[in-house]
Amino acid sequence: MITVKGFSYWYPGEEEPALEKIDLTIPQGQFCGVVGANGAGKSTLCSALSGFVPHFFHGEFEGEVRIDKHMVAQTPLGELAGEVGLVFQNPFNQIGGARFTVREEIAFGLENLGLSKKEMETRIAEVLDLVGIEELADRSPFALSGGQQQRVALASILAMQPKVLVLDEPTAQLDPRSTEDVFSALRGLVQRAETTVVMVEHKLEWLADFVDRVIALDRGRIELDDSPTKVLSSPRMVKMGIGRTQYTETAAAAKRGKLKLRPKILPVTLDQARTFFR
Amino acid sequence: MRLRWENISFTYPTGVRALDDVDLTIASGELVAIVGENGAGKTTLVKLLNGLLRPDQGEVWVGDWNAAEHSTAELAARVGFLFQNPDEQLFERTVRREVAFGPRNLGMTEKKIRSQVNAALKAVGLDAQAERHPYDLPVSDRKMLTLAACLAMDDPVLVLDEPSIGQDAAGRARIGRILRDLHTMGRTLLLITHDLDFCAEYAQRVVVMADGHILADGPAAQVLAQNEVLERAAIIPPQLVRLAQGLGLPSMPLNVRDFVRVYSAWRRKKKKH
């Protein structure tokens, strides 16, 4: 479980907080999406949940972040790594580069967990399959496309089997099919292993289909926090510069026009939109 | 400026055959999207335009130049590139110097460089950040910065590799407006994207690629409604196309306004019957 209480954070030398008075409880086994316009504080929230704030990014903070019983500010990053895994926005920042193959890259994190060789091999095979990169196992991580690297970065973190998984736009460079695969794999983890997943994502349509809850950040604060349908259809999404799915926008435009459409709640998924326009 | 790939094949040193006998012509002033899954050959195709890669077979033409006879530096005066990862093309100390780098290399006068840089920074919304270090900007702004650097060069051809990645709604709309303006100015624009909703809204023509081949090529409304072809290319159609197909609308709307128009007419007709 993730518990955030009155958490504010200022990057070194900044007057405005990047996060302001965040209160948040995410139970074990919830799949939670985080949305926000550029600069809303999404990546900073990821850093705060995974300990990079305050252990790597210094600056000032107030309040507390807890992962289960661990107070993040008081727990060294190395110790947190077994509890919470962070998948970075840019896979280049994640892939160590000390290893020659994708398989070795994934093994790197596992070596620090003190697992047996057999257990490591099992986990590596599992995650290669889970993110669909078996055929890349023996290639160099640096000879891969951006989308392939992004999946290697994800696999490396998944192999650690953290209880909490924090992902910062993990599908940005992926094509739609691979995006769907990643969302399905995460959904599966939530269901099978009760992993808690916090995922920053601009692809609203996928959030609508897959997550349990959506949090919308605006200038460092939580503006909306509710079910995907309620948050993603809210007119405030437009005001905050996040936007809405085309299903929602089309329904909103139809309602503004002369069309008399009965349903009150705007659709956020294809199925909802089909019902809406029927 | 017209672009032409004549029977192009290309194999990477790793043995991966990225393009297999591809033939494609893009007329001057077209706004064309190239879509396909990761590894379909899209980026390879456009890297042949500025000599970053050279084909094993066939000829690439950029206007009246055979790319084989020109250096990457020469081709850069004709083809501007917005890379997928902005950090591959940022190396100056300030935003302003970054944008001025290209125009200076093209030999523009200082006065011209200044006006080009100011206009480009304004277009992407970074005019207030001109003196900052590029790496102090968030990644979405670094992408805007590389776009400004392309705009300042005034190249007749511009290739944009995944311009909408990591952008919020406002950023997407801004990039869309810039594309439309460039299109009105008669630039030849190539858009490589996985963002099919963005593609539907802005591209006139869509080329679908898979495994180094062209699977389909035609007007956006036609190509984006060919489910079988898109399925083979592992592409999911845009949201509005899926909704229109689900409802059985008679034509494929590519933006919200079109959808409402087509839907309203369809509903009136349905009620009459």
In chain A, pLDDT over 90 holds for what percent of residues? 64
Tell me, what's the pLDDT at A198? 98
Query: Which of A4-8, A136-140, A217-221 is predicted with the least confidence, judged by mean pLDDT?
Result: A136-140
What's the whole-number average pLDDT of chain A? 90
> How many pairs of residues across A and B have Cβ atoms under 8 Å apart?
116
Strand pairing of B17-26 and B3-11?
Answer: antiparallel
Most A-contacting residue of B16, B37, B239 (CB-CB within 10 A), to test interface? B239
**Beta carbons of B36 and A175 less than 8 Å apart:** yes
Tell me, what's the pLDDT at A96? 62
Q: Biggest alpha carbon distance in chain A?
A: 67
**Beta carbons of A259 and B36 less than 8 Å apart:** no
Residue A57's Cβ-count burial label (10 Å; 0-12, 13-18, 19+) is: middle
pLDDT average, residue stretch A222-228: 97
Q: Give the torsion sign (CA, A181, A187, A190, A195).
A: positive
Of A38, A257, A258, the CB nearest to B140: A38
**What is the C-alpha separation between B109 and B174, in angstroms, rounded?**
29
DSSP state of A117: H
Reported as a pLDDT band with limits 50, 70 and 90, residue B84 is confident
**Beta carbons of B169 and A175 less than 8 Å apart:** no
Query: Which of A88-97, B82-91, B114-123, B243-252 is predicted with the least confidence, judged by mean pLDDT?
Result: A88-97
Tell me the ipTM for this assembly: 0.84
Give the model confidence (pLDDT) of A93-128 as tens digits.
766 666 689 999 898 888 878 888 999 999 999 999
Is the per-residue pLDDT at A92 higher than 80? no
Paired tokens of B166: 């990591």
For residue B122, give every residue at least 6 positions away whose Cβ sits within 8 Å of its Cβ, in sequence order, or none: none
pLDDT average, residue stretch A254-259: 79
**Beta carbons of B38 and A178 less than 8 Å apart:** yes
Give the model confidence (pLDDT) of B166-225 as tens digits.
888 889 999 999 999 999 999 999 999 988 999 999 999 999 999 999 999 999 999 999
Contact B100, B152 (CB under 8 A): yes
- Taking the CA atoms of chain A, what radius of gyration do you get in angstroms? 20
**Beta carbons of B243 and A274 less than 8 Å apart:** yes
Chain A residues closer than 8 Å to B246 by CB: 270, 273-274
Give the model confidence (pLDDT) of B24-74 as tens digits.
999 999 999 999 987 889 989 999 998 989 999 999 999 999 999 999 989
Of A139, A202, A273, the CB nearest to B243: A273
Query: Which of A119-123, A133-137, A258-262, B83-87 is predicted with the least confidence, judged by mean pLDDT?
Result: A258-262
pLDDT average, residue stretch A226-238: 96
Cis amide prior to A76 (ω within 30 degrees): no
Tell me, what's the pLDDT at A109? 82
* Run of H or E residues at A223: strand A221-226
pLDDT average, residue stretch A152-178: 90
**What is the C-alpha separation between A180 and B236, in angstroms, rounded?**
10
pLDDT average, residue stretch A221-248: 96
pLDDT average, residue stretch B1-11: 96
Tell me, what's the pLDDT at B2? 96
**Residue B266 contacts A, CB cutoff 8 Å:** no
Paired tokens of B205: 């023509």
**Beta carbons of A174 and B194 less than 8 Å apart:** yes
Nearest CA in chain A to B88: A92
For residue B134, give every residue at least 6 positions away whose Cβ sits within 8 Å of its Cβ, in sequence order, or none: B90, B92, B94, B95, B98, B142, B145
pLDDT average, residue stretch A77-84: 88
Is the per-residue pLDDT at A264 higher than 80? no
CA distances to A72, A198, B89, B119, B176 from B100, in Å: 44, 40, 13, 11, 23
Tell me, what's the pLDDT at A95? 67
